Amino acid sequence: IPKYWKDTPWSFGGTTRKPKSGNIACGYFVTNILSDFGIKIERVFLAQQPSSVMIKKRCSDIKYFTQRKDLENYILKQPKNTVYIVGLDFHTGFITREDKDTYFIHSNYIRNKGVVKENTESSQALNSSKTYMIGTLKY
C-alpha cells in the first residue's frame, strides 16, 4: 500500500485519502496506511497527535533512543520484514528492514518532497532528529 502513495506531495495540513491527489502530512500518511491495512484506529485523532501517542496505541516493544547509531543497531538485530512506526522530534513514519537494508517510509517535509521510501543511512529527515521512539507495529 505505501508504494501507491509514492510522490504524493507533503503539506503540514495535508489530509488527502487518495494517493497522488492532494497533499499528505506525515501523521495522516501513517494513519491512512494503518487504516488501509484494515487496522481499526482513530485515524484523524491519531494523525493530529504527537507520534508517541500513536506508537503507544499501535505498537509493542517500544524503545527510545537519543543516538541514531543505537536505533540502527537495534533494528538490525530484529527479524527481517518487520514494520516499525518511528517518532522523531517533529516527524513520523515507518521503518522497515529488508535483509541488511533499512528504509524510512514517510511523507517527507524536506523540500516538500512528499511520500518517499529512502535508505535510513541517507534520510535527512531521520538523521536530523535528536530523539527516536520506535515500536513494532501490532496488527
Residue 3 has pLDDT above 90, yes or no: no
Residue 1 or 136, more confident? 136
**Number of Cβ within a 10 Å radius of residue 112:** 13
- Give the three cell numbers for residue 25: 502530512
What band does 92 get if pLDDT is binned at 50, 70 and 90?
A: very high
H and E: helices and strands count for the chain: 6, 6
Q: Looking at residue 138, what is its pLDDT? A: 83
**What's the whole-number mean pLDDT along residues 20-37?**
95
What band does 13 get if pLDDT is binned at 50, 70 and 90?
A: very high
Q: Looking at residue 32, what is its pLDDT? A: 96
Question: Shortest CA distance to 89 belongs to which of 127, 48, 45, 38?
Answer: 127
